[in-house]
Amino acid sequence: MVPSTGTERRGPSGEDDLTVLLLAGGRGTRVASIAGDLPKHLLPVSGEPFAALQLRWLETQGVRRVIYCVVGGDERIEAFVVHHGPSSIDFQFLRDGERLLGTGGAIRRAHDVMQFRQDVLVLYGDTLLTIDLADLMRTHRDRGLAATMAVYRNGGRFDTSNAEFDGARVCYRKVRPGAAAPPLPMAWIDYGVSALSPAALDRMPPGRAFDLAELFEQLGDEGQLGGYEATERFFEIGTPAALQELETLVRRSSSLAPGAAPYAR
C-alpha cells in the first residue's frame, strides 16, 4: 500500500524556516478513562484540544512548516488542524499504512516522501515545552553532529531519567519495561524535541517498524548525539496526573489560555 500524504494546508513559508516533524500517532492508553477513543493529541485541556496549545507554541517559535505523522484511518487530527491551526504554518499529513511503523519508521517514511535536504526538528505530539527552537537548531548546525537532543536535568522528578549529558554530547538509554536499569545513574531526560540531520535520517531502516530511541542510542554510543540544555521543565499528557498538572498550568497562564494567539477559523 502506498502511504497517503493526506491533506495539505498551506501558509507562507521560506527556505530558512524551521521544519517540524510532529509525531502524533499516540492513542493515550494510560489516559483511556479520560480520552476514550480520542487520539492523545486531541485530549481536552481546559476546554480545547491539546493540539491547540502545542500549535500556538509552535507559532510563537516562528515555525512555518509542520509535517504530521499520524495513524492511518483516523482523520480527526487532520480535520482539527486544517480548520483550526495557525494560518501562518504550512501543514502536511503523512499517515501510517496498514502496519504501524513506530516513531522511527514514521520519520523514515516522511524522509522517503519529502526527501529532506536540510536539518529537521522532531517533536512528540503529547508534550508542551519551553525552549527556543531556533537556538536549538543553531546549536545543532554549529556542532555538525548527526543529531542534537534537547535534555533537561530531571533527577527522576517528572519521569524516569534516560540520558547523561556532559555539556556537549548525550549518552541515551531508553527505559524499557522489565529491562535492567542502566549501569550508571542517569540524571537527565529526553525533553521531547530533537534536531536531526539528513545523514541521521538516512540511517533509519526503510520500510519497517522502528523506534527512534534505537537511533539515539546508536548515535550516543558513537559520539554523534549532541545535547542542548532546557532549563525549564516539560509538561505532558501521558497520565491523568500529568494531564491535571497541565490543566492547572493553563488556568494560571494568560499566554496559554484558549484564544491567546490568532487562529484560522
Cα–Cα distance for residue pair 155/101, rounded to 1 Å? 31
Type of residue found at 132 = D
Q: What is the enclosing helix (H) or strand (E) of 68? A: strand 65-70
Task: Report the Cα–Cα distance between both ends of the chain, in Å, rounded.
Answer: 34
Residue 106 has pLDDT above 60, yes or no: yes
- Looking up cell 527522576 gives 156
Query: How far is it, in rounded angstroms, from Cα 109 to Cα 2?
Result: 11
Q: Which stretch of 3-12, 41-50, 107-116, 165-174 has the lowest confidence by average pLDDT?
A: 3-12
Beta strand 147-153 with 225-230 is parallel
Half-sphere exposure of residue 124: CA atoms within 13 angstroms, side-chain side: 24
**Model's pTM, two decimal places?**
0.87
Amino acid 1: pLDDT: 25
- pLDDT digit string, tens, across residues 245-257: 999 999 888 667 6
Q: Which domains does the chain have, with CATH numbers?
A: 8-252 (3.90.550.10)
- DSSP annotation of 180 reads P
49-56 mean pLDDT: 95
Beta strand pairing call for 147-153 and 188-196: antiparallel
How far apart (Å, rounded) are the C-alpha atoms in residues 30 and 176?
A: 16
Rounded CA gap, 71 and 165, in Å? 33
pLDDT at 37 over 50: yes
Q: Which of 11-20, 151-160, 181-190, 199-208 has the lowest mean pLDDT?
A: 11-20
* Integer Cα distance of 125 and 145 in angstroms: 25
pLDDT at 183: 57
Q: How far is the C-alpha of 239 from the C-alpha of 261, rounded, in Å? A: 27
Average pLDDT over the chain reads 86
Q: Considering just the CA atoms, what is the radius of gyration of the chain in Å?
A: 17
**Tell me: the pLDDT tens digits for 124-155?**
999 999 999 999 999 999 999 999 999 999 98
**More confident call, 29 vs 117:** 117
- How far is it, in rounded angstroms, from Cα 235 to Cα 185? 23
What span, in angstroms and rounded, lies between the C-alpha atoms of 122 and 173?
A: 18
What integer is the mean pLDDT of 91-106? Answer: 87
Q: What is the pLDDT of residue 14?
A: 42
pLDDT at 94 over 90: yes
Find where cell 532546557 sits: 230
pLDDT of residue 13: 41
